[in-house]
């Protein structure tokens, strides 16, 4: 008589394997198995869960797609407001931003690079998507919400669960019992072009740009539709949390990555305003070759103690700014002028 392996043990083993492969593929960008092997594991897990329905849990990788189409979205109140970002358009705006910070922090005005007078900034591209909040309780994703007006958003939990690189449970250990992860859902350029090409062929609705496509896809009442849209998520910070976290912006993002959250591959820690301007120029040169649309870069004071000291002005943090690129048509004018 062959001994049937305990289905509960095999289900746990398969889930751990699939979560590990997802982490390598979506967060480390280093696939560990061929798709065929991944699909075999997934098919075995789905079959085991169908044969043993009492083993199904919401954080199983089989439970992503196709929540019930609800009548409308519930409301979610953001305990920690989801703020917007101040904008810098010219280099002088960036110099003012840095000078204001150093003055508020009472750093020596003297020579910019005198020890202790420059501020370390965490830099990343400003993704042109939709800001969302993901709530993880005891490491399990329990709620997804749009930013809305910053205080009240829409409950889009069933839809965010279909975004393949949003983990349904945190990996590793040491994550806070309550952790609200914030970031941007966006549609990569290639997925956007494919979606519009399909829509033109089938007479469906086309979208003007990837940002509208992402917003429209996330706010579908039928999550089965969302599941078929090429959406991705990138985390850039946290909201509410109960537990311990590092005291730097980069430190927090590295922990989020360890716990299975995708963060920007362009993340960089720079020193002082010159480091910011070099980063802005570098991303500006590579903008058209990035696989997603951006409308600027975001700079944040890296030290969280200083972030708290700097606080917010109305709805914008004094410790963060978006340095925008000229809109593409202006950019051509700009380049025309420069190369005439
Ligand atoms: N779109 C982005 O890539 C982005 C980012 N990388 N980082 C932040 O940090 C802000 C959030 C509140 C204080 C700092 N915000 C971003 O986008 C904002 C969110 C809401 C409005 C902008 O889209």
- In this structure, the residue with its CA closest to atom 2 of ligand 1 is 126
pLDDT digits 0-9 by tens, 5-21? 799 999 999 999 999 99
Measured over the CA atoms of residue 127, residue 132, residue 135 and residue 136, the dihedral's sign is negative
- In this structure, the residue with its CA closest to atom 18 of ligand 1 is 84
Helix (H, G, I), strand (E, B) or coil at 173: coil
Please tell me the distance between residue 212's alpha carbon and the centre of ligand 1 in angstroms: 17
The mean pLDDT value of the chain amounts to 92
Total-model pTM: 0.91
Q: How far apart are CA 208 and CA 4, in angstroms?
A: 54
Model confidence at 337: pLDDT above 50: no
CB environment 5-18: b (16+ within 10 A), e (fewer)? eeeeebbeebbebb
What confidence category does residue 339 fall into, taking pLDDT thresholds of 50, 70 and 90?
Answer: very low
pLDDT digits 0-9 by tens, 232-246? 999 999 999 998 999
Query: Could you give the residue numbers annotated as active site?
Result: 126
The arithmetic mean of pLDDT across residues 270-299, rounded, is: 98
Q: How far apart are CA 184 and CA 164, in angstroms?
A: 14
Q: How far apart are CA 6 and CA 25, in angstroms?
A: 29
What confidence category does residue 113 fall into, taking pLDDT thresholds of 50, 70 and 90?
Answer: low
The arithmetic mean of pLDDT across residues 219-233, rounded, is: 95
CA–centroid distance for 99 within its chain:
29
The angle at the Cα of 339, spanning 323 to 266, to the nearest 5 degrees, equals 35
Cβ–ligand 1 contact at 270 (below 6 Å)? no
pLDDT digits 0-9 by tens, 154-181? 999 999 999 999 999 999 999 999 999 9
Pocket perturbation via mutation, ligand 1, pick of 84, 85, 302 by most ligand atoms within 8 A of CB: 85
The arithmetic mean of pLDDT across residues 222-240, rounded, is: 96
Please tell me the distance between residue 146's alpha carbon and the centre of ligand 1 in angstroms: 13
| The predicted structure's pLDDT at residue 71 | 75
Please tell me the distance between residue 7's alpha carbon and the centre of ligand 1 in angstroms: 44
* 8 A C-beta contact, residue 83 and residue 150: yes
CB environment 314-324: b (16+ within 10 A), e (fewer)? eeebbbbbbbb
């Amino acid at each position: 008589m062959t001994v049937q392996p305990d289905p509960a043990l095999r289900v746990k083993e398969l889930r751990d394997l699939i979560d590990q492969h997802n982490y390598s593929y979506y967060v480390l960008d280093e696939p560990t198995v061929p798709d065929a092997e991944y699909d075999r594991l997934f098919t075995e897990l789905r079959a085991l869960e169908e044969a043993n329905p009492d083993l199904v849990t919401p954080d199983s990788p089989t439970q992503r797609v196709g929540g019930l189409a609800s009548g409308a979205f519930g409301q979610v109140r953001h305990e920690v407001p989801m703020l917007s970002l101040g904008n810098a358009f010219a280099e002088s705006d960036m110099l003012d931003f840095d000078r204001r910070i150093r003055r508020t922090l009472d750093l020596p005005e003297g020579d910019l690079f005198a020890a202790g007078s420059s501020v370390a900034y965490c830099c990343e591209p400003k993704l042109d998507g939709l800001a969302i909040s993901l709530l993880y309780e005891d490491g399990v994703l329990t709620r997804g919400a749009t930013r809305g007006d910053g205080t009240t958003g829409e409950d889009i939990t069933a839809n965010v669960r279909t975004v393949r690189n949003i983990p349904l449970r945190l990996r590793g250990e040491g994550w806070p019992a309550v952790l609200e992860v914030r970031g941007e859902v966006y549609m990569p350029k290639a997925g956007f072009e494919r979606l519009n090409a399909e829509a033109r062929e089938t007479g469906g609705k086309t979208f003007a740009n990837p940002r509208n496509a992402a917003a429209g896809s996330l706010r579908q009442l039928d999550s089965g539709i969302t599941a078929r849209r090429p959406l991705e998520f990138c985390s850039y910070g946290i909201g509410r949390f109960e537990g311990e976290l590092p005291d730097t912006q980069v430190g927090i993002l590295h922990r989020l990555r360890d716990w299975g959250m995708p963060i920007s591959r362009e993340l960089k820690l720079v020193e002082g305003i010159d480091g910011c301007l070099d980063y802005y120029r570098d991303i500006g040169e590579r903008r058209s070759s990035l696989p997603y649309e951006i409308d600027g870069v975001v700079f944040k004071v890296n030290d969280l103690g200083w972030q708290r000291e700097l606080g917010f002005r109305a709805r914008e943090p004094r410790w963060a700014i978006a340095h925008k690129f000229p809109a593409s048509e202006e950019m051509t004018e700009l380049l025309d002028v420069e190369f005439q």
